[in-house]
A and B are shown apart, each in its own frame.
Chain A
Amino acid sequence: MKREEIAERVIKTTARELKLQPSEIKESDQFAMELGADSLKSIELVAAFEEEFDLTVVEEEALKVQSVGSAIDFFDSIINKK
């Protein structure tokens, strides 16, 4: 899967879970500081990404991800086994 598609799906999922418009979300956005995802919402986001990409992540690694861009890279590395 190309990074662009992963990025689109990460942003789409983030927007749905955080009740935002995809156009409001940038790769540089921090989930907590800029998008308002508190620690409770972070858990739901991880679960939503898992369903979106039909995979299971290593929990402690996923919780280290802070920004939209790093989430895209995180799933890119898993999906494309980088």
Chain B
Amino acid sequence: MKSMHLDQSHIKILTAQGCVSHNWNNVVFLDITDISRFRNVTFIGEVKVGDNRGTISVDGVECNCGIYNATIAQCTIGDNVRIANIGSAISNYTIKDNVVIEHVASMTADLNALCGNGVELDVVNEAGGRGTILFNELSAQTAYLQALLKHNSAFTTKLTSLIKKKITDTSTHASIGTHARIVHCGAIKNVTIGAYANIHGAQFLDNGTILSCKEHPTEVGEAVQARSFIITEGAKIDSGAIMDKVFVGQAVKMGKQFSAEDSMFFANCEGFHGEAVSLFAGPYTVTHHKSTLLIAGLFSFYNAGSGTNQSNHMYKLGPVHQGIFERGCKTGSFSYVLLESHIGAFSVVIGKHYTNINTPNLPFSYLHEGEGTSKCIPGMNLFSVGTVRDGEKWPKRDNRKAPVKRDLIIFDVFSPYTVEKMRRGRDGLLSLSESTPKEKAFVIYGGVEINRLLLKKGAKYYSMAIARYLNDKVCERIAEVLKSSGEWTNAMSSLKPVSQLKASNEWTDISGLITPRERLAVLEEKIASDVIKSVDEIIHEFQQMFDMYCADEWQYIYDTYKKEYNIDLASITKAQARTAIDAWQTSATSLHSMILEDSKREFGAFAKIGYGLDRSTDETEKDFIAVRGTSETNSVVQKLVKEVNEIKQRYEQFKNLIQ
């Protein structure tokens, strides 16, 4: 088959079928193109059409390919494409094979349209200053570089120029990828739509890119209004979502009238009903409820209760506030946090807080409100069954199916990042405990009130978790090296870390990617000094950090073990190894038992309130069991029970191994 210009016989047939063109010489078909499959088509400018002899499914009905009731201006149209009932026109698009465009008000593009690339978002701080540029390759990590490292102007300038270069180098004509479906939509302007995307019922889409792939098609559904955006593979946006200057990461779900402005959502985020403004939603940020406003903050692995809100009431210099909620935080229903605040990882916020909270070194804490005061129970979330459940569910709920996962995620709840914060928290609490007289009921730390009695208690919880983590990893590694090299001294000498970090205790969380701070500093320096010359190289560097995590984590453990127990693991003795497994068993059993007790409370007397309505005690019990089950039948509780036995088994196995 080959391209052909139309002759008079073709033009006569087309004209009879209601088709017009100012210049038929600009209309090019293939020699196999079925001329009968053009009805009421106005051709403007150069238009190329491929093989249209096939059929294609539209809303479950097999329809002929071809062009019907449409104005087509300056377009290249591939094979097996059906275009029908276009309100005004399709202009300046390259439409690839096997595409359906039907009942769309308009689809127009400017010749130099960047389709959302280059738009700058004001994330984290509503008043600006943390401008982050949208581009097709954006990830949680490249966004973090842009938004959070503004202190380094040389770096920021270079990074911005690399991103702008990437945009310029990769910008192409607006296009529709193969197998895309665009049906029943309003106006679409300057929007590139990727392969296999399913766009149906969107109200308007303006200045954006919808990246999609066969492995994980992207869906934009009913009544969506989106302006200045990039949506990536496997995202599903529907049911009246409103977006203005937004990045949507892989496998993100958004809908039910959720509205977002100047916001970015990375892998597996979910946004329904509520509102987001200047939000940096790292991986797994979830908000499902009406009246929930997430504003001007950095979040990840976060769950928002209904009515959650943050703000700066004073509003003296405008909305200049920003908040940091480190990974794993939860905010309870109608919780309020005054910004600026910095909440430690895996903390739970309950109630309204009118003080600026600064507790990054008190991870796993409960921040609650009592008598109008912000109070903190350090480390209490360490033995919440919810923390265990969250840690297990995130990797299982990684819904990304695209071949390339943009965001690099270390899922570990206990990592050098959180463990080092606990070490600092423990030391800080013990120091406060020693310096606080018994007459004082509480101390103020990081803006919150801590009951004096809980200073030691919190330190104890942290100590237990630190001991569990370090001894767990050490025993695991000893078992590994013993299996591969049975002789004790040689095996232990292989425990020396391969990483050569200068400060193995300084870590950072690059929105999902946990890495030593010095690796990030090296990347910063490489970008600032032109050693790195492209965005692709930056992405490669992040991948290397990700790949080095286990080795880096081991160096942290190795060095920290020496600090905590004064033991050099490369020359650890059998007796010390036995002490390590004892310490692990003690801390693991203790924390596990506390978690188990916490889970059983979910089946206690309070949990049964409201069950068996107007019925006897016996019927209340039966109603509760019918709906909620019992701790004996609950899968989470039973898993915890099973794990208690696994701790015992592992303990015995390790003891036998080092005999």
Which DSSP category, helix, strand, loop or mixed, fits chain A's interface? Answer: helix
B245 contacts partner chain A, Cβ-Cβ < 8 Å: no
- Chain B interface (Cβ < 8 Å from any Cβ of A): 366, 368, 377, 380, 451, 453-454, 456-457, 460-461, 464, 590, 593-594, 596-598, 601, 604-606
Residues of A within 8 A of B456 (CB): 47
Docked CA distance A39–B377 (Å):
11
Q: Nearest-CB distance from A16 to chain B (Å)?
A: 10
Residues of A within 8 A of B590 (CB): 58-60
Show 7 residue pairs from A and B whose CB-CB distance is below 8 angstroms, ordered by the A residue: A43-B457, A44-B453, A46-B457, A50-B453, A59-B464, A63-B597, A63-B598
Docked CA distance A44–B454 (Å):
7
Closest to A39 in B: B601
A64 contacts partner chain B, Cβ-Cβ < 8 Å: yes
Q: Nearest-CB distance from B366 to chain A (Å)?
A: 6
A8 contacts partner chain B, Cβ-Cβ < 8 Å: no
Report the 9 A-B pairs with minimum CB-CB distance, sorted nearest first: A60-B593, A47-B453, A47-B457, A60-B594, A63-B597, A33-B605, A44-B451, A60-B590, A48-B453
* Interface 1/0 per residue, A39-58 and B, CB below 8 Å: 11001101110110000001
Closest to B380 in A: A43
Docked CA distance A46–B460 (Å):
13
Closest to B454 in A: A47
A30 contacts partner chain B, Cβ-Cβ < 8 Å: yes
Which bracket fits the contact residues of A?
10 to 19
Given contacts A32-B606, A47-B456, list 9 more A-B pairs with CB under 8 A.
Answer: A40-B380, A43-B377, A46-B457, A47-B453, A51-B453, A58-B590, A59-B590, A63-B598, A64-B597
Residues of A within 8 A of B366 (CB): 40
Residues of B within 8 A of A30 (CB): 605
Q: Nearest-CB distance from B371 to chain A (Å)?
A: 10
Docked CA distance A63–B605 (Å):
15
Residues of A within 8 A of B605 (CB): 30, 32-33
Q: Nearest-CB distance from A42 to chain B (Å)?
A: 10
Q: Nearest-CB distance from A49 to chain B (Å)?
A: 10
Closest to B596 in A: A60
Docked CA distance A63–B461 (Å):
14
* Interface 1/0 per residue, A13-48 and B, CB below 8 Å: 000000000000000001011000001100110111
Q: Nearest-CB distance from A51 to chain B (Å)?
A: 6
* Interface 1/0 per residue, A52-80 and B, CB below 8 Å: 00000011100110000000000000000
Residues of A within 8 A of B598 (CB): 39, 63
Q: Nearest-CB distance from A22 to chain B (Å)?
A: 19
Q: Nearest-CB distance from B83 to chain A (Å)?
A: 62
Docked CA distance A50–B360 (Å):
28
Residues of A within 8 A of B454 (CB): 43-44, 47
Residues of A within 8 A of B368 (CB): 40
